[in-house]
Each structure stands twice: as structure tokens, then as C-alpha cells.
Amino acid sequence: MDTMDFFNYNVPAESDFGYSQAIRSGELIHVSGQLSFDEAGEFLHAGDFAAQLKQTYANMDRVLDHYGATRNQVVSQTLYVVNLRQNAAATAEGNLRYFGNHRPASTVLGITELTLPGQVIEISFVIDTKLPA
């Protein structure tokens, strides 16, 4: 029987909302929505889409590093974007820059707001560790 492995940053939101940043079940790792926060859990760059996107991808890398995985093992992602029409080009550019030639399945949702005031992007994703790194 496979065991589950939970990953947390140990920031207040994890206990306040009762969730983990990621959970590994077998070869799959399901990652909660990542956003623009620092290692202390402080939200960064309110209202600045480009800066939030860059920090969100950096946090995605933290999860990948924890599990010894790479971007090439990301099989799907869901992006939640405030003001999608305004931020569509930046979203696409950031995604291409982050993944390079790798092409995970992707869903982009335009939404009216996210949890934190000034938050404009959140990305959840799934990793398959059976894939080549």
C-alpha cells in the first residue's frame, strides 16, 4: 500500500485553512494553488501581475525541489487569473518562459478575485514522478 507524503511551508494559512501545499500519493503529486508569498508566508507584490507570476513560479520550483521533480514532470496545471483579458499575454509569456518546450495540460480561468487583497494569480498543478526528469 502506498503511503501519502504531505509537504508544507509551515505558514499560518496552512493551519488556518486546514490544507497542505502538496500531497504525494503513489507516483502523483497534487499541488495546491501557489501564489506570491515569501518563505515566512507573507504575501508579496499586491496588484503587480508580473512580479506575482515570477514569485508564484519560484514557489512552484520550491515544491518541485522538495520532491526531487522537474518542470518536465508537471502533467497539468490550472491558472486562476484576475483580469484575464488584461493579463492574458503576460500569462502566456510567463508560462512559455517557465516551461520552455515542455507542454503540460493547462486550464486558464479568468476570475473576479482571489483570496488575498491584491492577489491576481494562483497556480495549482499535478506532477507525475514516473515521467523522465
The pLDDT tens digits along the chain (133 residues) read: 466 789 999 888 899 999 999 999 999 999 999 999 998 889 999 999 999 999 999 999 999 999 999 999 999 999 999 999 999 999 999 999 999 999 999 999 999 999 999 999 999 999 999 999 9
CA–CA separation, 120 vs 22, rounded Å?
21
